Amino acid sequence: MSTGGAKWIGRWDGGRVRLTRGRSVWVIERRVNGIVRAITLDVASERDARAELVLFERDPGAYKTKKQVAAEAAASVAQAEKKGVALDEETFEAFLRNVKAEGLTDRYRRYILAPYLTAWGVALEKRPLRDVSLTELHVMLDKWPTARTPRIIALKAFTAWLRERDMLRLAEDPTAELKVPPSKAEKSIRQKGYSMAAVEQAYAEANSQRLRDTLCLRAKTGMHGTEIDRVARGDAILKDVSDPCGIKGTITFRQLKADMTHTISLDAQAFAAVERLQAFGKGLEDSGIVQSLRRIAERLKLTCVDEEQRKKIVPLHPSQLRHSFSTWARKYGELVRPTGKGLPIEEVSAVMGHTSVKTTKKFYLTEEVPPMIRLPLQLVHQEDPSTDRITSRKAASID
């Protein structure tokens, strides 16, 4: 039998084979819901046809050939291009999944990206971004009295992600010329950071081991809260070196903004703090730390004998501990170098022929035990475990 230049030339497991323009074409012939279906497959061999047959028999009603799938995908893309991408629920969730996979912290996703992008989504009313003007974005920003910079950063991060996936052209991106406001110098002069005595006092009053461990790392190393959170989640390498100079170990993690690996040397107390946080598997959120430190300040005020002492006690803020560390290091710090020999990074860079030390540090240099800044800071609490021996079981049970 021949039809329009095609003729049947044989059978196979799924139906029949016909010859069309000198090429074998496999056809699935099956009865589905009482109706005989003849599905022409776009495959090059009987082996591929059998693979398609398996997919068809798994769900005959929903089966589509490769050409049908490609045609529907192309139609979907064309429709999306016609409609234009918007800040809707689907793209919003896809973006958050992406930034999570890239390693951004839960805290940043929950308190920066999610709330500000939600606010943008409401303001934009699911309009295609290509139909939004830069002027309109500024009008929307002017209606929000606070957080202009993080709002802009959140929206630009979202549109940059769309462009990377070819879902939004640069010429259609209304945020392309939207500038992030530059940092401004403070109009007034204020004291940054705290005295060692104030931090020691708050540490001694803290009831939570996780809070004390967090304070220890912030005060003794100047680490950011997001870095401590990644370290606690296990996105870091903790190494015990027990160097005679007083360096107990090192912690190595990724600095996301700089896109570089960073290693910090730790004394025994800070090393034990990292062990406990990693055993727990989660760091403390800034909001919880702030509330705890406020309660600590209130308890300390109750112990004061006069009003003058009470005025001197203020709640510590975790972000200010980084300022404190830099100030203490400048005034009182002692640089502790690991036992053994080694060359300065500048000399290593020169020998390797690099024009910039940054190249050596970013792509080649892994500093196993960097110097450590030792401070005359005494963080003592009667319930702190001994730094000589920490077990995972004990660490996991402490909060």
Position 273 confidence tier, pLDDT thresholds 50, 70, 90:
very high
How far is 175 from 179, CA to CA, in rounded Å? 8
- If one counts the domains in the chain, the total is 3
3-state secondary structure of 344: coil
Q: Give the pLDDT score at 392.
A: 40
Looking at the structure, tell me whether residues 44 and 118 fall in a common domain.
no
How far is 287 from 20, CA to CA, in rounded Å? 70
Last residue of one domain, picked from the residues 82, 107, 125: 82
List pLDDT tens digits, range 43-52.
Answer: 999 999 999 9
Structure tokens at 379: 């963080």
Looking at the structure, tell me whether residues 224 and 97 fall in a common domain.
no
Structure tokens at 273: 């703090």
Looking at the structure, tell me whether residues 106 and 223 fall in a common domain.
no
Last residue of one domain, picked from the residues 59, 82, 105: 82
Q: What is the DSSP string of 117-186?
A: HHHHHHHHTT-BGGG--HHHHHHHHHH--S-HHHHHHHHHHHHHHHHHTTSS-GGG-TTTT-PPPPP---
pTM for this model (two decimals): 0.57
Looking at the structure, tell me whether residues 77 and 94 fall in a common domain.
no
Q: Name the residue among 54, 58, 61 with its Cα closest to residue 33.
A: 61
Residue 341 pLDDT exceeds 70: no
Q: Give the pLDDT score at 395.
A: 40
Q: Give the pLDDT score at 397.
A: 39
DSSP-assigned beta bridge partners for residue 6: 3, 20
Q: DSSP alpha helices (H): ranges in the chain?
A: 46-58, 66-83, 89-101, 106-108, 114-124, 134-143, 148-164, 196-205, 209-221, 225-233, 268-280, 286-302, 307-312, 320-332, 345-352, 357-359, 392-396
Looking at the structure, tell me whether residues 266 and 350 fall in a common domain.
yes
Residue 188 pLDDT exceeds 80: no
Residue 1 pLDDT exceeds 50: no
Residue span of the structural domain in which 253 resides: 196-280+315-396
Residue 322 pLDDT exceeds 60: yes
Q: At CB < 8 A and 24+ separation, what contacts does 336-342 make?
A: 336/245, 336/246, 336/247, 336/265, 336/371, 336/372, 336/373, 336/374, 337/245, 337/371, 338/241, 338/243, 338/245, 338/247, 338/265, 338/369, 338/370, 338/371, 339/243, 339/244, 339/245
Average pLDDT over residues 70-98: 79
Residue 153 pLDDT exceeds 50: yes
Looking at the structure, tell me whether residues 388 and 250 fall in a common domain.
yes
Residue 266 located in a structural domain: yes
